[in-house]
Amino acid sequence: MKRSHKIFFAIPFDSATTQLYRRVTKRLRQRYKEVKTVIGNEEVGPSASYSSIATFKAQNRELTEQFVAQIRDADIVVADLTHNNPNVHVELGIALFENKNILRVVGRPVTELGFDIRNFEVYRYTSEVDLSKKLADYLKTFFRIKRLPMSKKFPALLQQPRTTKIGGSKTIPSHAPSKYRQCVVNQRWSC
C-alpha cells in the first residue's frame, strides 16, 4: 500500500466554501497522517508571466494542465456540487475520465442538482460536522479496501495503469479515445 494518499478537492473559490474546506481538511490530516489534501486554488494558479490579453489562451492552457495533473495525481477527488459551479463540473469530468475514486457532496437537496448528476451517488451534508463525518467514513472505506491483499491469480490487477506518451512529458491513459489524444497533442480543449 502507498505510504501517502492525495485528495483533490474540487470546490468553488468563494471565501465561505474555501474556509469550510480548510477546516475540514485540517481535521482529516490530523486524523489520517497518510493523507495529503489539495484544495485546487492552493496549488494551482496562473503564472505571473501572463499579464496581457495576448497570452490569455496560453494561461488557460497552463491552468488546465495544472488541474489535470493535480487530478491525475490524486487518489481521491472530492467534488462539492453545492453551488453548481462550472469549474467543479469540469474537474469532476476530468476525474471521471481518469477513473478516480470520487466522492460527490452537496450542501443542498440532491433533487436540485442537474439530471445528469443525480444519477451518480451524491452525499448530502447539512453542516461542517456532517461533511467531516462523510469524508472520514469515505476514507475509512478507502483505506479498508487498500489494505485488502491482491490475488496472485489475477496478475493484471497488480500492474499500474498503462499510459501513452504523446509528446514531451504529457501522458494520457492508453484507453483514451484517439480524438482526445489528438486534442491533447494539438493543445486544443474544445474537441
- pLDDT digits over 92-118, tens only? 999 999 999 999 999 999 888 888 887
The answer to whether residue 189 scores a pLDDT higher than 60 is no
Helix (H) or strand (E) holding 116: helix 115-118
Half-sphere exposure of 187 (CA within 13 A, CB side): 12
Write out pLDDT tens, residues 35-75. Answer: 888 886 554 444 455 456 656 666 667 777 888 889 999 99
Tell me the domain boundaries of the chain. Answer: 5-148, 162-191
Give the span between the Cα atoms of 95 and 78, in whole angstroms: 9
Write out pLDDT tens, residues 112-171. Answer: 888 888 788 999 999 999 999 999 999 999 999 888 877 777 766 666 666 666 655 566
The CATH T-level fold of domain 5-148 is: Rossmann fold (3.40.50)
Give the span between the Cα atoms of 119 and 124, in whole angstroms: 14
What is each CA distance from 16 to 31, 67, 128, 178, in whole angstroms?
Answer: 23, 22, 11, 41
Q: What angle do CA 83, 88, 89 make, to 5 degrees?
A: 100
Give the span between the Cα atoms of 104 and 121, in whole angstroms: 7
Task: Name the more confident of 80 and 168.
Answer: 80
- Which residues 6+ apart lie within 8 Å of 31 measured at CB? 136
Q: pTM of this prediction?
A: 0.70
In this prediction, residue 81 carries a pLDDT of 95
In this prediction, residue 139 carries a pLDDT of 94
Query: Where residue 184 falls among pLDDT bands split at 50, 70, 90?
Result: low
DSSP tag of 54: G
How many percent of the chain have pLDDT more than 90? 39
In this prediction, residue 35 carries a pLDDT of 87
In this prediction, residue 50 carries a pLDDT of 47
In this prediction, residue 45 carries a pLDDT of 45
In this prediction, residue 127 carries a pLDDT of 96
With DSSP H G I counted as helix, E B as strand and the rest as coil, what are the percentages for the chain, rounded to 5? 50, 15, 35
Give the span between the Cα atoms of 119 and 81, in whole angstroms: 14
